[in-house]
A and B are shown apart, each in its own frame.
Chain A
Amino acid sequence: MAALRDIQNKISAVKKTRQITRAMNMVAAARLRQVQERTERFRPYAEKFSEVLSSLSEGMDPEAHPLLAQPENVERVGLILITADRGLCGSFNMNLILKGQQFLTEKKAAGQEAALYAVGRKGVDYFRRRKVEFAKIMPGVMNVVDFDLATEVARLGLNAFLSGEVQEVYLLYSRFISLVSQVPTLEKLLPISAQAAEPGEEAGPKLEYLTEPSAAEILVDLLPRYLNVRVYSGLLETSTSENGARMAAMDNATRNCKEMINNLTLAFNKARQAAITTELMDIVGGAEALKAG
């Protein structure tokens, strides 16, 4: 009888787990929609921005602005690593962290130092356990991704770059391909490369602008803002990926729970049948003994 009770307990435990994973799946789905909406609303801004930037930067001298200047030798690089704050989303965080780790190892092999800026708690936790030094940590910020956060993160990179602390700044984030596929992506943020400022598919006729103040001065104003735009879209992509990954992971977990419940129910029924059979055998055996007596 004890075995029966055990199985029953297990079944109800798994059922509770399933309830939780199902709820988490739905929460992730709702959040995913929210972030996607944000991305949607951000798109016109981003598009217009790169359009203006590309028409301005045409014919500009790459040395004209400190953010465009390619460094002669790179001694120290900055890495901005974006991860999620929370786990339970499959290998999502680990993929990002491993890519970051690989980047750090490569840079070390090349004789360059690296300064790590970690956005999101999971990345912070991982590298702290491994006693990697941070230039700056920002745990617990991925819950609400807004433009202010992007500005703050971009300013970290910008300040380090302008003060000469680092000669290059990279951004590592997760690109959202689909619900089942998110790819950790490494991009060079600073110095801004000339191609990045010029999207290739631009086909429309170029307008000659009057500018106020001069084009060069506008560019000075524009380029730091361009960083904000890049970082913001990185943050949005990562947040979308996180929720997508969590949805998939929780969906899987729910399915596994269902399978376990099926197996356990089968085991329970078998055990019950066995118990009944044994009992019957006892009774029959007893009756036979009486008759013989």
Chain B
Amino acid sequence: MAKQILLEVVTPDKLLLSKEVDVVVAASVDGEFGVLAGHVPFLASLAIGEMRYRVGNQTDYAAISGGFAEVTGEKVTILAEAAELAREIDLDRAQRARERAQKRMAQAQAEQLDYVRAETALRRAMLRLKVAGRTQAV
């Protein structure tokens, strides 16, 4: 059995996840990266994106709404202002958030700041839906 690496997902509200895993894949602002045990120290800024981790044959997903990741040889720490495990995502809420964000984007064309904010909200909502969909497919 290959060596495992400790994955910790920390949000301001709680320690979301702390688990020994085989591999972690997360989305940095420059693209996806994967981490195995013994990775060199690494620091990345995370985009609004999906994170997945594999233990044995089991792959699980989580939605990360931006933040950053710190990797040392034996540990990956993901600091995110908001993060949810796939099975904990509230589908209804995400769907409502998506509709709200779309409506707001349509209205906010003029004001740039609002537009950007609504777009970010939309990206988050879409991500949640996507990640939640992953578990249902399995």
Give chain A residues whose Cβ lies under 8 Å from the Cβ of B41. 207-210
The answer on a CB contact under 8 Å between B70 and A52 is: yes
- Give the segment of B27-35, B52-60, B98-106 that binds chain A: B27-35
Give chain B residues whose Cβ lies under 8 Å from the Cβ of A218. 43-45, 68
Residues 206-223 of A, flagged 1 when their CB comes within 8 A of B and 0 if not, give 011111110101100110
The answer on a CB contact under 8 Å between A212 and B12 is: no
The answer on a CB contact under 8 Å between A211 and B43 is: yes
How far is B39's CA from A207's CA once the two chains are assembled, in angstroms? 13
A106 interface contact, C-beta 8 A: no
B residues 3-44 with Cβ under 8 Å of A?
A: 10-15, 28-30, 33, 40-44
The answer on a CB contact under 8 Å between A49 and B79 is: yes
**A209-B43 contact in complex given A45-B12, A48-B10, C-beta closer than 8 Å:** yes
The answer on a CB contact under 8 Å between A210 and B40 is: yes
How far is B14's CA from A38's CA once the two chains are assembled, in angstroms? 8
The answer on a CB contact under 8 Å between A212 and B30 is: yes
Number of A residues with CB within 8 Å of any CB on chain B: 30
The answer on a CB contact under 8 Å between A213 and B12 is: no
How far is B68's CA from A208's CA once the two chains are assembled, in angstroms? 16
Main secondary structure of the interface of B (DSSP, over half): strand
The answer on a CB contact under 8 Å between B10 and A45 is: yes
How far is B79's CA from A208's CA once the two chains are assembled, in angstroms? 19
Q: From the candidates B28, B33, B43, name the one contacting A56 in the complex (CB within 8 A).
A: B43
Q: How far is the CB of A259 from chain B (nearest CB, A)?
A: 43
Q: How far is the CB of A165 from chain B (nearest CB, A)?
A: 15
How far is B28's CA from A146's CA once the two chains are assembled, in angstroms? 26
A293 interface contact, C-beta 8 A: no
B77 interface contact, C-beta 8 A: yes
How far is B43's CA from A221's CA once the two chains are assembled, in angstroms? 12
**A222-B14 contact in complex given A48-B77, A213-B29, C-beta closer than 8 Å:** no
B114 interface contact, C-beta 8 A: no
A228 interface contact, C-beta 8 A: yes
Give chain A residues whose Cβ lies under 8 Å from the Cβ of B11. 45, 147
Q: From the candidates A41, A56, A217, A232, name the one contacting B14 in the complex (CB within 8 A).
A: A41
Give chain B residues whose Cβ lies under 8 Å from the Cβ of A268. none
Q: From the candidates B15, B79, B81, name the one contacting A151 in the complex (CB within 8 A).
A: B81
A285 interface contact, C-beta 8 A: no
A225 interface contact, C-beta 8 A: yes
A200 interface contact, C-beta 8 A: no
Residues 148-169 of A, flagged 1 when their CB comes within 8 A of B and 0 if not, give 0011000000000000000000
The answer on a CB contact under 8 Å between A44 and B13 is: no
5 shortest interchain CB distances as A-B pairs: A207-B41, A147-B12, A209-B43, A212-B44, A221-B45
